[in-house]
Amino acid sequence: MKLKTTITLLLLALSSQLSAVTNEFEFGERVNEQRYLSYINKIRCLVCQNESLGSSRSDLAIDLRSEIYRLMELGQSNQQINEFLVSRYGDFILYEPPVKRSTLMLWFGPFLLLLLFLVLLLLRIKKMKHQTSELSASQRQQAQALLNPKSNQHD
Amino acid sequence: MNRYLPLIVLLLLALFLGLGLRKDPSIVPSPLINQPAPSFELPELRDLNKTVSKATSLGAPYLLNVWATWCVNCRYEHPVLMQIANDGRIPIVGLNYKDERPAALQWLTDYGDPYRDIAYDESGRVSIDFGVYGAPETFLIDSQGNVRHKVIGPISVELWQETLIPMLAELQSE
């Protein structure tokens, strides 16, 4: 019972955070609410870096949200708004930085590592297979002795 | 060799993570470095009938210092700005960021006024163009109006002497 209450409270706290910004502006034909909300949640708040622009209550986040709303009202695309933000604050403001030379490692590094370890693993497995098939005569005898203790007892 | 491979990987990882720890994540490099400073035109804080703009500041290098009275680190930085102003090597233009004018004027009376001009950015819109995300921030702008360096956080005496003075000497010899 207690657990249930805790979970409910946690969910409530979360949902109030998510809806902190929904009533800042009016949405309708000109600015689509879904588009606006999904966009501001993909932008980092530079004041409190672990929060998105959508969930931050900092002054700068409020200003940037109204700037983004204004640009959407003017009919700019997400790409154009990205350019507006990046030219001022740098790629760091985007949670999904563009693929370019300086971000290649960021995008593909993990896959490269995965590939490297897969290759190492395969090599290792191959090696192990080899080893098991090559028992020397004396090893074979030892194994036999361990497996059938009765037939080889000397007393 | 193979035996030590996990250890080598671990040490490499530790090295990179260690290097990462030494970097301050609150310092985000500005894309404006070596780019023309954004143009702006704002009222002068001390005399609202005057304006401060990018055009009026061209011709010689200057420091553009973003400050506000609600900013604790600006108070900490202020004596260094006074020292730079008294030194006279480079003028300081203030960009007063989302502040209340009476409080800002009182601050200048109480602690001294190191600024040649002060642009009053009440809404913070010009500061967005400069990519300001926390005061104090200071831009070194050359005589053609290009941003050459950005200091995020308060300028210390060491930073002034060891970084800004040599950069300024370089700008003046160009």
One-letter amino acid at A115 equals L
Contact state of A46 with B133 under an 8 Å Cβ cutoff: yes
Same-domain check for residues A74 and A27: yes
Q: Are B124 and A59 an interchain contact pair (Cβ–Cβ within 8 Å)?
A: yes
Closest-CA residue in chain A for B31? A90
The type of residue at B159 is L
Instruction: For residues B135-153, give the mean pLDDT.
Output: 94
pLDDT at A13: 64
Q: Which of A27-41, A100-114, B68-82, B160-174 has the highest mean pLDDT?
A: B68-82
- In B104-123, the residues whose Cβ lies within 8 Å of chain A are 123
Residue B26 confidence (pLDDT): 80
pLDDT of residue B5: 83
Q: What is the mean pLDDT of residues B35-56?
A: 94
* B8 in any annotated domain: no
The pLDDT confidence band at residue A141, using thresholds 50, 70 and 90, is confident
If asked whether residues A141 and A73 sit together in one domain, one would say no
How much is the pLDDT for B9? 87
- Domain carrying residue B145: 28-173
What is the span of the domain harbouring residue A123? 108-147
CATH code for the domain of A31? 1.10.8.640
In a domain, B1, yes or no: no
**Cβ-defined contact of A90 to B30 (cutoff 8 Å):** yes
Same-domain check for residues A90 and A43: yes
Please state the rounded mean pLDDT for residues B152-159.
95
CATH of the domain at B107: 3.40.30.10
Distance in Å, alpha carbon of B131 to nearest chain A alpha carbon? 5
Nearest beta carbon to residue A86 from set B25, B31, B130: B31
Measured CA to CA, the distance from residue B64 to residue A75 in angstroms comes to 33
Q: Report the alpha-carbon distance of residue A71 to residue A81 in Å, rounded.
A: 7
The pLDDT of residue A155 is 52
Taking 60 as the threshold, does the pLDDT of residue B117 lie above it? yes
Domain annotation covers residue B23: no
Q: Cβ–Cβ of B32/A88 closer than 8 Å?
A: yes
Measured CA to CA in angstroms, residue A125 lies from A121, A132, A136 at distances of 6, 11, 20
Nearest residue of B to residue A65, measured between CA atoms? B128
Would you state the pLDDT for residue B144?
Answer: 93
* pLDDT score of A15: 60
Say yes or no: A40 and A59 in one domain. Answer: yes
Are residues A85 and A36 both part of a single domain? Answer: yes
Residue B107 has pLDDT above 90, yes or no: yes
In a domain? residue A153: no
Rounded to an integer, the average pLDDT of A70-95 is 93
- Specify the pLDDT at position A1: 59
Rg (CA), chain A: 30
Note the pLDDT of residue A23.
67
Helices of type H across chain A: 2-18, 33-40, 59-73, 78-89, 104-133, 137-147
Share of chain B above pLDDT 70, in %: 99
Mean pLDDT of B68-95: 96
How many structural domains compose chain A?
2
Q: Is residue B98 part of a domain?
A: yes
CA dihedral angle for residue B11, residue A49, residue B158, residue B161, rounded to 10 degrees? 110
Cβ <8 Å between B131 and A47? no
Out of A42-46, B3-7, B95-99, B115-119, pick the least confident.
Answer: B3-7
- Position A152 scores a pLDDT of 52
Indicate whether A21 pLDDT > 60. no
Share of chain A above pLDDT 90, in %: 42
Residues A46 and A90 in one domain: yes
Mark yes or no for CB contact A46/B28 under 8 Å: yes
What would the mean pLDDT of B24-36 be, rounded to a whole number? 88
Q: Are residues A92 and A29 in the same domain?
A: yes
Specify if B104 maps to a domain.
yes
d(CA A151, CA B173): 97
Q: How much is the ipTM here?
A: 0.83
Q: Which of A98, A122, A137 is the last residue of a domain?
A: A98
Do A38 and A72 reside in the same domain of the chain? yes
Look at chain B and report how many structural domains it folds into.
Answer: 1
pLDDT for res B162: 95
Question: What are B59-71's pLDDT values in tens digits?
Answer: 999 999 999 999 9
Query: Is B18 an 8 Å CB contact of chain A?
Result: no
Residues B17-35, mean pLDDT to the nearest whole number: 87
Domain assignment present for A155: no
Tell me what pLDDT residue A102 has: 81
**Shortest CA distance from A85: residue in chain B:** B131
CB B27 within 8 A of CB B136: no
Residue A3 counted as domain residue = no
Do residue A52 and residue A124 come from a single domain? no
Using pLDDT thresholds of 50, 70 and 90, give the confidence band for residue A25.
confident
